[in-house]
A and B are shown apart, each in its own frame.
Chain A
Amino acid sequence: MVALLVGLKLTLLRNGLRRSVWRTVGLVLGAVYALGIVVAAVAGLVALRWTSTEVTAQVTVVAYAALTLGWLVLSLLVFGVDETVDPARFALLPVRARALVPGLVVAALVGLPGVATVLVALGLVVTWARTPGLALAALVAAVLGTLTCVLLSRTATSAFAAFLSSRRFRDLAAVLLAVVGAGLAIATNVLSRGLGSDLGVLTTLLQRASTAASWSPFGWAWALPGDVARGAWAQAGVHLVLAAGLVVALGATWTAVLDRRLVEPSTSAGGSGTVGRSGRLERLFPADEAGAVAVRSLRYWRRDARHVATLASFLVAPLVLLVTLGLNPDVSPRLVVLTPCVLAVVVGTSVGQDLSFDGSALWLHVSTGLSGLADRRGRVLAALTVFAPVLLAMHLVVAAVTGGWASLPGALGLSAALALGGMGAGAWAGALWQWPGPVPGESPFQRGSSGGLPALASAMVVLVATGLLGLPSLALVLLGAFWRPWAGWLALPVGLVLGLAALRVGTVQGGRLLDRRWPEALRAVSERAG
């Protein structure tokens, strides 16, 4: 069964590569990147052989616990789980989850992050191969630790996916996840600063961190060789039992979740999905086609988990930054006032990915002969309706709390340049690059590798263009802060004019581009992944 599932995964990967050049390019780039990380990590691990066992233990526990945490957080928040071998597809076959789990775990390791993790985990054996006993302990740790990485990410995403599949909780859960993520980031930030200012000495910090990490579930397995090296057999025993227990418990949980998914593979929960009949929203927007697109987009912003998740993930960074900077008395309020601009930097990407989120439903726009310009304008209009009030409110609240009213116009100007310009760039990039997004109703984690390079290219271009468009206003804001205040005020009209001009150019050019390549865009978004 293991060989069968791994073979299936390899076949699916190969076929995926054969179908799209983009994906091959993406894989090669990813492989180069991953190879660099692995080589650097192994070099570091080899270098550790010349240090004391104590330092080696401390460094490796912290680093590998971070790797394990990374698997959990990244699969939950950023990448999603690569469901190339989707367990739900096995629903019609007479198999039990117990028989599938080993194969699925190994299949999960087939792929760039998996292979890289295995190589780095084997590096632990290299660094600890000082006596046969230590090498054996490191090997056990590497196996248990790698299994923990995979099982943790699978179990967490499966559990969340099941939770999210009931539509009623889906929006709530996406927001909750973002808040938890922001909370974690803020907590570590506050914690690290507290430690840093009290102790200051790196070694003490490392010692504390390694103790904390070795007793967190993420470090149980990785702490094993260090315990053996110190001759702390009792601790080694406890860590071994805990690590093995964790692997068994996660395996059992995942098996249980899988068993349920094999019986009810459909994620759509029949619910009372009725909506009110009021046409208030429709009357708020122009009566042309762009207005219709805007109203439809706004309804999706509210009803579609993917959009809610986007919104939540956008809010994480500015909130974290706000709290971190706000807590630090050394940072001038004139800088804190600028934190909402971080949100303005990313909003353009939402316009860039909006078309891909439509999936094959986009045929309607193609078939009705909708002009590209109307499509672009409608989506921008909806994004502005969502983000403009949020941005404005954040700016006002931050200015009120810090008392930095004098810097508000400049900050608003910068945000205007970034948000409007970014949406212009998104309107253009969204017309050029499309990819098959996750379909609505599916778990937002189930992204797999479907986005690939077009998604990356779109986001990069939008972010770079946004940054460039923000530069003049940023320069004026900084001049205003450190030289003449009137320069900061100038940032407002400059930002508005520049942003609006970029928005105009982006929507018009994006519209023309879309008019030329509607059918190609439709094919790009509806291409099935896998």
Chain B
Amino acid sequence: MPTAMRLTGLVKSFGVKRAVDGLDLQVPAGSLFGLVGPNGAGKTTTLSMATGLLRPDAGTAEVLGHDVWTDPAAAKATMGVLPDGVRLFDRLSGRELLSYVGRLRRVPPADIASRSGDLLEALGLAADADTLVADYSAGMTKKIGLACALVHAPRLLVLDEPFEAVDPVSGEGIRSILRRYTRDGGTVVLSSHVMELVESLCDQVAVVAQGRVLVSGPVDEVRAGSTLQQRFLELVGFRAGDEEGLAWLRSSSG
């Protein structure tokens, strides 16, 4: 199976803190790949380095055969990206933003119009297409970000926390879009905290903690008979809380 994304020995430090520490990852083409890990595990940093937004201190990132840091133009052309925790050009309306992304991606104008309409419809944003993105709710902002990542029909989607703040109905919509996208040959890499979601949606999963990949492979292999949640807790070394811990908190209920 060919590899859609190959990360080798990625390292990134912020000051004294080593956010990503020699991370290796291979994402098979056509897979729906879930990246899970506790807060501060380095998921966002890893995805930023894999998409050309953050320069790694060491290591290489390769996307569909193009090195992200030596041949950025070719690599970026094949990717659709939805980063987490960054702003959008939110003084544009949803439609204007989509059209802007389309034009930056050199999508033919006729295609921009038709694809924008399709995407806004599919993500339930058609009624708010001419509202400024600044006035969107958190979930709507996620959805328009996803639409922006899709508008140039990329072969690889890299999504950081795509389901955060999205309501269950829209979430199901996004899931079916992603499933159809991988069925048609696309590859998706997404990060999430929600194990149940990754378990039900993804076919491949990698557990990241302290800037390294602890385990990676097909979901069934990784969870090894248990649930992904249980396996995850074992891997990152969770100690169940002491029964006597936080005893003072009980008094507040009285």
Whole-angstrom distance between the Cβ of B127 and the nearest chain A Cβ: 11
User: What is the bound-complex CA distance between A304 and B87, given in angstroms?
Assistant: 15
Whole-angstrom distance between the Cβ of B104 and the nearest chain A Cβ: 4
Q: Which residues from B are CB-within-8-Å of A181?
A: none
State whether the Cβ of B132 lies closer than 8 Å to any Cβ in chain A.
yes
Q: Which residues from B are CB-within-8-Å of A438?
A: none
State whether the Cβ of B203 lies closer than 8 Å to any Cβ in chain A.
no
On whether the beta carbons of B73 and A369 are closer than 8 Å, the reply is: yes
State whether the Cβ of B99 lies closer than 8 Å to any Cβ in chain A.
yes
Q: Which residues from A are CB-within-8-Å of B89?
A: 296, 300, 358, 361, 364
Tell me the nearest residue of chain A to B76, going by C-beta: A369
User: What is the bound-complex CA distance between A519 and B53, given in angstroms?
Assistant: 5
Tell me the nearest residue of chain B to A273, going by C-beta: B132
Q: Which residues from B are CB-within-8-Å of A103?
A: none
Scoring A residues 496 to 522 as 1 if CB is less than 8 Å from chain B, else 0, what string do you get? Answer: 000000000000000000000011101
On whether the beta carbons of B83 and A271 are closer than 8 Å, the reply is: no
State whether the Cβ of B247 lies closer than 8 Å to any Cβ in chain A.
no
Whole-angstrom distance between the Cβ of A283 and the nearest chain B Cβ: 10
On whether the beta carbons of A368 and B96 are closer than 8 Å, the reply is: no
From known contacts A275-B130, A303-B91, infer whether A519 and B54 are also in contact, taking CB-CB under 8 Å: yes
Scoring B residues 93 to 110 as 1 if CB is less than 8 Å from chain A, else 0, what string do you get? Answer: 101100111011110010
User: What is the bound-complex CA distance between A517 and B89, given in angstroms?
Assistant: 21
Tell me the nearest residue of chain A to B108, going by C-beta: A287
Neighbour of B134 across the interface among A268, A276, A368, CB < 8 A: A268
From known contacts A363-B53, A368-B101, A370-B104, infer whether A440 and B91 are also in contact, taking CB-CB under 8 Å: yes
On whether the beta carbons of B53 and A282 are closer than 8 Å, the reply is: no
State whether the Cβ of B77 lies closer than 8 Å to any Cβ in chain A.
yes
User: What is the bound-complex CA distance between A275 and B83, given in angstroms?
Assistant: 26
State whether the Cβ of A82 lies closer than 8 Å to any Cβ in chain B.
no
Whole-angstrom distance between the Cβ of A28 and the nearest chain B Cβ: 22
Tell me the nearest residue of chain A to B148, going by C-beta: A364
On whether the beta carbons of A274 and B132 are closer than 8 Å, the reply is: yes
Per the 8 Å Cβ criterion, residues 60-106 of B in contact with A are 72-73, 75-77, 79, 81, 83, 85-93, 95-96, 99-101, 103-106
On whether the beta carbons of A299 and B92 are closer than 8 Å, the reply is: yes
User: What is the bound-complex CA distance between A430 and B93, given in angstroms?
Assistant: 26
Tell me the nearest residue of chain A to B152, going by C-beta: A368
User: What is the bound-complex CA distance between A271 and B131, given in angstroms?
Assistant: 10
Secondary structure type dominating chain B contacts: mixed
On whether the beta carbons of B95 and A277 are closer than 8 Å, the reply is: yes
User: What is the bound-complex CA distance between A522 and B52, given in angstroms?
Assistant: 11
State whether the Cβ of B46 lies closer than 8 Å to any Cβ in chain A.
no
Whole-angstrom distance between the Cβ of B101 and the nearest chain A Cβ: 7
Whole-angstrom distance between the Cβ of A307 and the nearest chain B Cβ: 9
State whether the Cβ of B135 lies closer than 8 Å to any Cβ in chain A.
yes
Secondary structure type dominating chain A contacts: helix
From known contacts A367-B51, A367-B76, infer whether A274 and B131 are also in contact, taking CB-CB under 8 Å: yes
On whether the beta carbons of B88 and A369 are closer than 8 Å, the reply is: no
State whether the Cβ of B193 lies closer than 8 Å to any Cβ in chain A.
no
Chain A interface extent, by class = 35 or more
User: What is the bound-complex CA distance between A287 and B102, given in angstroms?
Assistant: 11
User: What is the bound-complex CA distance between A295 and B100, given in angstroms?
Assistant: 9
Tell me the nearest residue of chain A to B74, going by C-beta: A369
Tell me the nearest residue of chain A to B55, going by C-beta: A519
User: What is the bound-complex CA distance between A152 and B83, given in angstroms?
Assistant: 42
Neighbour of A522 across the interface among B53, B101, B131, CB < 8 A: B53
State whether the Cβ of A132 lies closer than 8 Å to any Cβ in chain B.
no
User: What is the bound-complex CA distance between A365 and B72, given in angstroms?
Assistant: 13
Q: Which residues from A are CB-within-8-Å of B135?
A: 270-271, 273
Whole-angstrom distance between the Cβ of B68 and the nearest chain A Cβ: 10
Whole-angstrom distance between the Cβ of A355 and the nearest chain B Cβ: 13
Tell me the nearest residue of chain B to A517, going by C-beta: B55
User: What is the bound-complex CA distance between A277 and B76, given in angstroms?
Assistant: 30
State whether the Cβ of A155 lies closer than 8 Å to any Cβ in chain B.
no
Q: Which residues from A are CB-within-8-Å of B72?
A: 369
Tell me the nearest residue of chain A to B104, going by C-beta: A368
On whether the beta carbons of A439 and B106 are closer than 8 Å, the reply is: no
Scoring A residues 356 to 395 as 1 if CB is less than 8 Å from chain B, else 0, what string do you get? Answer: 0011110111111110000000000000000000000000
Whole-angstrom distance between the Cβ of A22 and the nearest chain B Cβ: 16
Interface centre among B96, B109, B131 (most CB of A within 10 A): B96
On whether the beta carbons of B103 and A289 are closer than 8 Å, the reply is: yes
On whether the beta carbons of A364 and B88 are closer than 8 Å, the reply is: yes
Whole-angstrom distance between the Cβ of A374 and the nearest chain B Cβ: 8
User: What is the bound-complex CA distance between A273 and B97, given in angstroms?
Assistant: 14
Tell me the nearest residue of chain A to B83, going by C-beta: A363
From known contacts A368-B105, A520-B55, infer whether A299 and B91 are also in contact, taking CB-CB under 8 Å: yes
User: What is the bound-complex CA distance between A270 and B137, given in angstroms?
Assistant: 10
On whether the beta carbons of B132 and A526 are closer than 8 Å, the reply is: no
From known contacts A268-B134, A367-B53, infer whether A361 and B106 are also in contact, taking CB-CB under 8 Å: no
Q: Which residues from A are CB-within-8-Å of B53?
A: 363, 366-367, 519, 522
Whole-angstrom distance between the Cβ of A427 and the nearest chain B Cβ: 18
Q: Which residues from B are CB-within-8-Å of A367?
A: 51-53, 76, 79, 81, 83
Q: Which residues from B are CB-within-8-Å of A439?
A: 87
On whether the beta carbons of A292 and B100 are closer than 8 Å, the reply is: yes
User: What is the bound-complex CA distance between A277 and B81, given in angstroms?
Assistant: 26
Neighbour of A369 across the interface among B77, B96, B100, B134, CB < 8 A: B77
Q: Which residues from A are CB-within-8-Å of B86?
A: 360-361, 363, 526
Neighbour of A366 across the interface among B52, B99, B101, B132, CB < 8 A: B52
Q: Which residues from A are CB-within-8-Å of B88?
A: 361, 364
Q: Which residues from B are CB-within-8-Å of A273?
A: 131-132, 134-135
Q: 5 pairs across A/B with beta carbons < 8 Å?
A: A273-B131, A275-B93, A364-B104, A367-B83, A368-B104
List the 6 shortest-distance A-B pairs measured between CB atoms, nearest first: A369-B76, A292-B103, A273-B132, A360-B86, A361-B87, A368-B104
Report A's interface with B, CB cutoff 8 A.
268, 270-271, 273-277, 279, 282, 287, 289, 291-293, 295-296, 299-300, 303-304, 358-361, 363-370, 439-441, 518-520, 522-523, 526
Other CB < 8 Å A-B pairs besides A367-B53, A368-B101, 7 of them?
A270-B135, A275-B131, A292-B100, A296-B92, A361-B87, A367-B51, A367-B81
